[in-house]
Structure 1
Amino acid sequence: MKALLRCSKSLLIDPTRRNSVLVSAFSKSSKSKTRDTKSKIQAEATSITSLFNEITEILGSHVVQSDQTNQLRVPVSEESNGDEALVSCTQCVRENASVGFSNVNEEANQCGGVVVSEEFDVSPLVHEITSVIREDDDLMASMEDKLEKLSLRFEPEIVEKVLKRCFKVPHLALRFFNWVKEKDSFSHTVGVYNTILSIAGEARDLDMVEELVKDMEKNSCDKDIKTWTILISVYGKAKKIGKGLLVFEKMKKDGFEPDAAAYNIMIRSLCIAGRGDLALEFYKEMIEKGITFGVRTYKMLLDCTAKTENVEVVQSIADDMVRICEVSEHDAFGYLLKSFCISGKIREALELIRVLKSKEVCIDAKYFEILVKGLCRADRMVDALEIVDIMKKRNMDDLNINGIIISGYLRQNNVSKALEQLEAIRNSKHSPRVSTYSEIIQHLFKEKEFQKGYDLFKEMADDGIEPDSVAITAVVAGYLGQNRVDEAWKVFSSMKEKGVKPTWKSYSIFVKELCKLAKYDEILKLLNQMHASKIAIRDDMLSWVISCMEKHGEKEKIEQIKALQKKCTFHTEELGQEEELVDDCNHPQVVQHSALPPASSSVDILDVQEISRILSSSRDWERTQESLEKSTVKFTPELVVEVLRNGKIHGNAVLRFFSWVGKRNGYKHSSEAYNMSIKVAGCGKDFKQMRNLFYEMRRQGCVITQDTWAIMIMQYGRTGLTDIAIRTFKEMKDTGLSPRPSTFKCLITVLCEKKGRNVEEAIRTFREMIRSGFVPDKELVEDYLGCLCEVGNTKEAKHCLDSLGKIGFSVPVAYSIYIRALCRIGKLEEALSELASFKGERSLLDQFTYGSIVHGLLQKGQLQGALDKVNSMKEVGIKPGVHVYTSLIVHFFKEKQIDKVLETCKQMEEESCEPTVVTYTAMICGYMTLGKAKEAWKVFNDMKEKGTAPDFKTYSKFINCLCQAGESEDALRLLSEMLDKGIAPSTVNFRTVLYGLNREGKQDLARSVLQKKSALIAQRKLHQTCGFQRLQQKSQTIASVSLVP
């Protein structure tokens, strides 16, 4: 984070950035507002509504001007236009990922043999060899025999060119390489190895990649910069970020300075993995070295960083796009707007629109489309339709908009509205897009509305719109869902007749549906057809088929599948990886019927569910182990991580599973798997097992990073063992690891909590974090200032505010957090004094703090003052947010004014202000305080029906209220519901229900509470003898508990 801060500052003060007038203006005018994006200040929802109303008034005020007249572009040279300059910035990532294919190896060109063109190989020899390789891959020996008969000398440059031409058939390329490298006359060159490494990497065969690297070392073939870049790309695409980072560091140690391609691939890989913090560190290094990359990588970096609270950094990246890549400011704003919308930052998106309009930047159809899509993704359909109306008034017809609106309705499962919108398009002068039809058809089939979906498919053809592979595949899946296999085959075969080529995904869906019906003859027929069409058959598809066949005892057919699998080894997947970052509303079929797991994981969710079901089905480990042995699931570290993540509440079973799977032949735990197992043990307060896992992780040679230490710090700290957490933090530094921002945050957060609070150590650690150059996020500042205010250390709180201002933290946001903390502890006068003495932009601070002031006034019983404050904010266009309404509801319940409560709820509904889980919890407690248990249960059930899931606090407070009201039996029912929902009740929850049942004379039920508690402890802990209380006592007496020998 320190490097990131220096990077953003150096970019912002760069004189060359003056060309980016508009982007910089946005950075200065709205950065303090956008820092508030993810805050817990609950006025956010209503302030967005207010801002949206302002934006719609602005956008609807006059007709848009031509895009060309207002487009502001950084001057480019006369020799090249903006697009050419953009291309010159860097190669596209596809070139970088397959950098081994970009040039012919110079060393090879010095050897004797056929000279090949640098740009396109037209050599007859290469063509002849390639034809032999790709001619017939059905017979395993045919290719090798034919190659022998050619009697050619296979020079390195010829081999390299042949391999490049076999990129789409990696299994054949690898066969050819394995054959040719055994020839006595063959010379091992780095160019050949680079090419075959790229092919093996595309095939996702990491074992083969590692074997090839060893083979290079064995044959004394030194790596070049392209080799390192290819390895980084391979591990990045496989989401092995740890290995990618290690390769990057090793490359530098071997004396190779990373080039633009290496940095480009590293940053893209980190963005795909969601590690924006690391991506920004690499980006900073690039800028310092004067290295640049293209717009595509900039867009990925924008999308990744937009998910964080570092909005200033996001804006500085947009500035760089204009300054470095010579992207027009108009386009840069579009990318920035899209990133905000993708990340759900609607407020920031609306702020950007307002700034654009104030700067008289052209708001064209592209901006409208991005904004509408963002609103639909945020389930703000009414607002999206309002924007569409403005577009119609301004005669801005955009065919994409209709599809986006339909996608939004389908996202809400409002099929009737989607069909109405489709009919409206058909009645207009426009025809619906094929993708729009396909999406609705898919949704109807998914909802078991086969006839409606098929009728729409026929209407599509009647309107003269040719269906694409997605629509046809949806119909195939629909027929199979009806067990009408013959009709499904007819529709699938009609693809070729219509000139539509079945995709890998089409075959995948067909195979999955046939597996559900156990139609194994049909599956074999389909797979053979797929193989004949030279479409890659992935291992996960074949494994799924084999698993299904094993359940039905189809041994003979399994052998046929395995024989086919041997032919298809190393088939590469033909799905784009980069597209997974952006969820296009017009193409939801990417995720709806995909046989692939989500982009963030390479694990089949069905495998995770199967293992999780086995682990939770029995408490008898021997039976569980027997079921695991019978399972056909292929255990990988990624699968184990997901199983651990989903089974935290079943700590005993999943930790036994972790130990069991680690002893299997051919399997080895990854660092990520160990980290997750340590977290599971800590969540169950099984600290002995947590330490054992740490020691085991070190013995196994796994990389222990700051993340591992941060997990242990958090697990100790959250249970009040802050002394051990502090020692663990120091021991991490003793090993040579420097704390990251996340490590500092973990320690400071637990030190500020009431359980195990250590204010002096929190102050020391926070100051160390600031000295290290890291900027704390808003959540950490809230915890820290809240803690200081609670203990009355306002002097240190003021010092914190000064420090935050010096390192670039938004001053209004910092003061709003401080004022909010004062209001929470009842120091309203001090809060008002701070507000009055603030010397910055007062209107902005008022906007941030008025909800807190209202809350403080209500706590003091000053209802009229609170209402006056609300009305004064309404006058400046700021409507009450959900937290203001919640504060009013709490106050009216306290005053026993039910009519005012209902009136407030009605106002919320009229203002389209959705209640949060905090609002519902306040109402439940309010009704229970007034003895209205029936109404409380109604609110509790309503919140679940409306999609708001009760959290731990809701359950805890409801349980407490029920026991106080003498309804402990209902509280016991809530305990069971918590367990069913995967929420672990606390010791206080169990004790409250136990005491309540005993008071009511229900001793039998009270004993069942003790049984539930014991069962939960046994379920979560592997070592029940190492109790939390014992460890707490030990932490107070032992001088140190060292994890480092």
Structure 2
Amino acid sequence: MNFSRFLSNLAPSTTTSRNNLLKLHQRFQLSTSSIKGKKPRESESQNLTPLFYEIRDILYSENKTSVQEESGSSLRGRTQPQDAGDTAGKTPCTLDVCENATEKGGLLSSNDKQMGASGDYDVSPIVHKITGIVRDENEVVSMEERLQNACFEYSGEIVEMVLKRCFKVPHLAFRFFNWVKSVEGFRHNTRTYNVMIYMAAEAKDFGLVDALLEEMGKNSCEKNIKTWSIVISHCGDAKLIGKALLVFERMKKHGPKPDLLAYKLMLNALCNAGKADIAFEFYKEMSNDGMLLDERLFKKLLQCLAASGDAFQAHKIGEDMIRTLEVSEHEVYGLMLKSLCVTGRIREALELIREMMNKNVNLEFEDFETLVKGLCKAGRINDALEVVDISKKRNAGNNNLYDIIVHAYLMINEFPKALDLMQRIKDLGQVPTVATYTALITHFFRINEFQKAVGLYHEMIEIGVDLDCAAMTAVITGYLRQNCIFEAFGAFRIMKDRGIKPSKKFYRIFFKELIKVSGTNDILKIFKEMEEASELEPGDEFIQQVTSYLKRKGEVDKLNEIKHIQGNRNCKAHPVGNVEKNKAKQDQIPSDHQHDVCQISQILSSSMDWWSIKEQLEKCCIQFTPEVVVEILHNSRLHAGMALQFFSWVGNHTGYRHTTESYNMAIKIAGQAKDFKHMRSLFYEMRRKGCLITSDTWTIMIMQYGRTGLTHIALRTFREMKERGHSPNESTFKFLIKCLCGKKGRNVDEAVKLFHAMIKRGCRPDKELAEAYLSCLCEVGKLSDARSCIASLQKTGFTVPLSYSLCVRSLCQVGRLEEAIQLINEVDGDDEQLTLAKNTYGSVIHGLLKRGDLKAALAKIESMKQIGVPPSIHTYTSLIVHYFKEKQIEKVLGCLEEMKESGCEPTLVTYSALFRGYGRSV
């Protein structure tokens, strides 16, 4: 980008402004040149080796002392000032321009929320009529002529509200904006110009933005802070940094003086564009004026400076963060390290680690993971392996580090090395993660090594690796591509038996591969099975694939059967698990309306063409109520597009008004379809129309962001919820913490803070949340936080055996058996310890067998028998798998005999282990 081009296009009129812009131009060029200088050189890569060896030696020497420390030490806590906002990070996607965090408010005033009260009379009927004329693109009579004939009286408030309601049709809004200038006695004010400038900027028509700003000047219309903030925000989003800088200088020259929001918007845009030098200059100006950054912008500026290689300024920002926000020193270093590794600055990353060691800042698992990723990205996989070994000796690593290296080998087609590494993991007595197995299985299928891929799949089941949807997707896809349809269905049944919930991506891939190799009977059979048995029913995209396939094959009868199933689905009773809940819902709807609900649901699922559906809806003589609409939306949630079109259509009916419940359902449907822009639009429409926004509304949005891995947006929405005076409830905390503990978008530190906040507020976590939270803590090695969780659970009503058993099982799952056994022994009281031992000994035995310690496992089983606790079927199954692995068939038979005598009935998993074991031993 050439900044001088902007100077020529938008030349300022004074010498002082030119001097200021020249300084910014010089900073801009320096920043650009620093970015261009990021290309790696061979000589620099060679010079990294001595530095790496120095860091390695320091870490090895530190290991002698650190190995004695507790591996699960937690970071020092921190608190954020209450006035630290998150304003600059909010995308201006609605008419609440930038959602100003200060008292100035957005474009929507409090009056708008009440549908516009002007003085002593309600203007909303007039606004509604004008909006109807503007949005109705009548080809016979022009909008201007119809408005002229209507003889309405126009005020600034009325025009502003009409423009806001025409946000989705900006071309019509602009025509109305220009026409209303000709109305006698009317003159645009700052608020109406702001709305129009916002709409033009949102459409990225910056030529129109400049014209409107110029017109404001000619008409002596004052530009307020919001005017300039709109332009700066949108220029930043469009990466027009030069133009944003010019606008900021004009703001300083013409007034009003830039406030905290304007500086935040400018700083945010500069950081996003990687202009670290200029961003730091802005930060210095803010500091001199006593303006404080919030935590999010501090982190963004720190990462921007670190990525640019400006270590000195990055350290200064880090020091300010520690002083201002009470952020731990480790977290600051962690952010810098991550930025350096992501941008490939390995030399600077190693120097930073050396500095951390000199300052006695402990290296946690996240730091090792970041460094390993950076080294692999830079092609230094051997160095990454050394770092993994060091982390293991310091008790600061887990098998996720090996996952990174296996994937790195596969990315450069070093498949033999990836296999050797996996064998090395096994030789160390550790179990490779499901991600490692999935990557290798996928690669085997890709190179047509079918038997080896299937062998790895069976190995996963035998050693008790927790399968996930990604692994099963790879296995089933491989089976289908080899035309092994029976085996694919068998794997699908195992998937359901283990409680693995198929994702939409899984169904899409399954149908795509199944259609290639299977006949129409198999297609219809699996379609019915998914329809009846699966929690996630096939959506529109899957039905489209099936119907298209059946049309090509000429299977008219089967096509009609699919359509019949599709139409009847919406009128079926809800799943058995929700009988009471759904019965209560149905009781709220009069029996004579049940037919209406089914009729509309069938119409919405009958076609993908909204206009044909709309014609059918207009022929129906149904009196819509909010309860009926909510039920229709619930039934049609899988047809998200049609459901949301229906929601918009029914909202325009005379005498009907959406309620909080109907908006909540529509917001949930939009979020489940990952149409987050529409979801937010519904939320702002809800607020604009004065509908009550509850904690459930916020919780639904947070849950939809979190379940797709957008946890940073979920957290931002959570903060926004609290800023607007809504108190989070148990469901809010539960869904957000579970999302933060998941594989996608994991953020353990935030999860810990939220869990403590939840307990402090008096909200009681349930068993599902406690299991997910403890499993995450044990997986990343935060054992002190796990112990703190046990104490918190007991305060909220969990019994001692239950709270301890949840933690023990989590520890056994990640291979921390010593810590698990130590935790069991800590429990006081014979009765409670006995109960805990009964609840957890199966997990302990399974963990011991996974490690290969048969002697300890048998001793544990014998000790439990002596206190009257016989082995369970899961314990016997674990023993059978282990004996087959060691090729000890006699002991397998002995196990089966003992099972018969004790009355244990084999499960599907037991039989699967027997078939696979015998097949391999033959």
Shorter-chain TM band:
0.3 to 0.5
TM-score by length of 1: 0.36
TM-score by length of 2: 0.40
User: Which of 1 and 2 has higher RCO (CA within 8 Å, sep 6+)?
Assistant: 1
